[in-house]
A and B are shown apart, each in its own frame.
Chain A
């Protein structure tokens, strides 16, 4: 019997998973928790958030995430795939940075719009002084 804390939502229910009984889960408050309990013991998965280097934007890094969870065992390898990537502004949120992370069908995507350094201001309407 393994005891673990559910991480699906901030409630953090205490789950009990019985490996002997086909990974039956008790202690959950919702179906997602039950699914998490089984999965966490059988084949744990995680979403990964990280950054990649970007050129021509206001800062040197663009934040990225995996668009779905990947096997926990692949996390370090996935992050290493981001080394050596160099994006160029402008970048749109959701844009794919790396497809098929570690051979899975999961992608790393950008989580932020990043304008070019010289044009970012015009993105906001009405910038500049107005006399009132």
Chain B
């Protein structure tokens, strides 16, 4: 029997796994899809918010501020791309200008160290491409951008390296109570654990209701995005927000850690939480909203559109608590924004709840708390030279747009959580993320996969299970000529 079963390996599940893997516990992470970080975690704005937005006194407020404090150090230790670029919330009307003051005070109350209200002139000097109608801004130098799926991968990989078990392709179909714990039914196996952490994102209510009486509902909200070419990447230097509304933080324009520009999201309640399609109306809405902040935005520079569904719940705050009628079952649910920001703090709170519930946490002495990844493109000339001399695979460039080498792809294949698809490789080393969106490198990555792993090309997946890339061979080879 495991000590803890974590359902879901998005950013919350991975952070929890990382946190628990510090202790002498038997931990298993159970993930529905064929990779980690493929739910909301991979399709969001990738921002670590400063913390002025949540209502003071809420869990969201406390965990946002603590989470981003922990994130800075975590990203450094675990080699996750992170950039503290700061953020600006723009005001276009006097009412919004007043709202900025509210946010400022809220931030101060939440414990945000650095916050400043800027005049129109100061704002436009800081960001010349903003709309001249800007009346002022709330400047938060502490806001940062991150690679959200690498953040999740880094946490999950470290947990696995420290002994946590990970089961992919394992949707939880049922949960029964057992003396001293639970039994989770997966498609081909049953797993037993004393405690459960429910980090199932948009499916959290379904998981909760398997073993406890319903106490919340997930009301998924979809947001669509544009990702612009790197040539547009420095249109703005900070994250540019608009004033928040009831629906959320609104449409933003922000640089990404890769050097692209991300534009979005909108907010559309959807019936099916797994519906991550983009829509013409949604994208138009995003375009219209975003151009309010940055009129010179040229969406023809877009290289990709995507959408992410947030696990908004019917409750205002995060749902981080023990299920009332099911001792040992802890919900980490309704983690909408600032979920990414709060993740490591949510994990610590989860550990505290587990301890309260009777789990003994004894720290490991041999906890591996670092992670390093080779990024060929970022090395100096001398470092590149030395690396290739050490291993010639780093001399073979596979992804031309992003300069990703065979060595890095092989590293991805040999990591603690091996990828199961071409996109899984993309998430680990960046191949295919550039302006040709894999047009050039996908056949090469596939070739490499076949060579390195002996796979049959016809079984290779683009991303999820069932997303086969190829249909059949063109000609059989039988008779010799």
14 A–B pairs (Cβ distance < 8 Å), ordered by A = A53-B475, A53-B476, A53-B477, A55-B477, A61-B474, A82-B475, A83-B475, A84-B475, A85-B477, A86-B478, A86-B480, A86-B481, A97-B481, A98-B481
Tell me the residues in window 45-103 of chain A with beta carbons closer than 8 Å to chain B beta carbons.
51-53, 55, 61, 82-88, 97-98
**Does A85 contact B474, Cβ atoms closer than 8 Å?**
no
A51: contacting residue among B475, B479, B480, B481, CB under 8 A: B475
A35 to B237, CA, bound (A): 66
Those of B461-477 within 8 Å (CB) of chain A: 474-477
Residues of B within 8 A of A82 (CB): 475
Which interface class (under 10, 10 to 19, 20 to 34, 35 or more) fits A?
Answer: 10 to 19
A63–B478 alpha-carbon span in the complex (Å): 17
- Chain A residues with CB under 8 Å of chain B are 51-53, 55, 61, 82-88, 97-98
A-B contact count (CB 8 A): 30
Q: Find out whether the CB atom of B474 lies under 8 angstroms from the CB atom of A86.
A: no
* Distance of A55 Cα from B478 Cα, bound (Å): 11
The distance in angstroms between the C-alpha atoms of A84 and B477, with both chains bound, is: 4
User: Which B residues from 434 to 481 make CB contacts under 8 A with A?
Assistant: 474-481
Q: Do the beta carbons of B480 and A88 come within 8 Å of each other?
A: yes
Q: Give chain A nearest CB distance to B476 CB in angstroms.
A: 5
Q: List B contacts of A53 (CB < 8 A).
A: 475-477
Number of interface residues of B (CB under 8 A): 8
Nearest chain B CB to A128 CB, angstrom units: 15
Residues of chain B lying within 8 A (CB to CB) of residue A84? 475-479
Chain B residues within an 8 Å CB radius of A97: 481
> How many angstroms from the CA of A32 to the CA of B479 in the assembled complex?
39
Closest chain B CB from A94 CB (angstroms): 14
A87 and B478 alpha carbons, distance in the complex (Å): 10
Q: 14 new A-B pairs (CB below 8 Å) besides A53-B476, A86-B477, A88-B480?
A: A51-B474, A51-B475, A52-B475, A53-B475, A53-B477, A61-B474, A61-B475, A83-B475, A83-B476, A84-B475, A84-B478, A84-B479, A85-B479, A86-B479
Complexed CA–CA distance, A98 and B478 (Å): 14
Binding site for A on B (CB under 8 A): 474-481
Looking at the assembled complex, report how far the CB atom of A96 sits from the nearest CB atom of chain B, in whole angstroms: 9
Which among A51, A61, A86, A98 has the highest number of chain B CB atoms within 10 Å?
A86
Q: Which residues of A contact B474 (CB under 8 A)?
A: 51, 61
Bound complex: CA of A61 vs CA of B475, how far in Å? 9
A52 CA to B474 CA, complexed, in Å: 9
Specify the chain B residue showing the minimal Cβ separation from A96: B481
* Interchain nearest-CB distance for B444 vs A (Å): 12
- In the bound assembly, the distance between CA atoms of A39 and B474 in angstroms comes to 32
Q: What residues on A are CB-neighbors of B477 within 8 Å?
A: 53, 55, 84-86
CA of A20 to CA of B481, assembled, Å: 48
Residue of B nearest to A61 (CB): B474
The 8 A-B pairs at the shortest CB distance, nearest first, are namely: A86-B477, A53-B477, A84-B478, A84-B479, A83-B475, A53-B475, A84-B476, A86-B480
- Chain B residues with CB under 8 Å of A83's CB are 475-476
A85: min CB distance to chain B, Å? 6
Question: Which A residues lie within 8 Å of B481 (CB)?
Answer: 85-87, 97-98
A85 to B474, CA, bound (A): 12
The minimal Cβ–Cβ distance linking B40 to chain A, given in whole angstroms, is: 40
Closest to B479 in A: A84
Chain A residues whose CB sits within 8 angstroms of the CB of B478 once the complex forms: 84, 86
Q: In whole Å, how far is A91's beta carbon from the nearest beta carbon of chain B?
A: 10
Contacts of B480 in A (CB 8 A): 86, 88
| Nearest Cβ on chain A to B52's Cβ, whole angstroms | 57
Task: Tell me, rounded to whole Å, the shortest Cβ–Cβ distance linking A118 to chain B.
Answer: 16
Name A84's closest neighbour in chain B (CB-CB): B478
Give A55 to B480 CA distance when docked, in angstroms: 10
Residues of B within 8 A of A98 (CB): 481
CA distance A82 to B476 in the complex (A): 9
Q: A66: shortest Cβ distance to chain B, in Å? A: 16
CB-nearest residue of chain B to A79: B475
In the bound complex, what is the Cα–Cα distance between A86 and B475 (angstroms)? 9
**CA separation between A61 and B476, bound complex, in Å?**
11
Closest to B478 in A: A84
- In this complex, which of B478, B480, B481 has the most chain A Cβ atoms within 10 angstroms of its Cβ? B481
Bound: A53/B474 CA distance, A: 9
Q: How far is the CA of A85 from the CA of B386 in the complex (A)?
A: 45
**A111 CB, nearest partner CB in chain B, Å:** 15
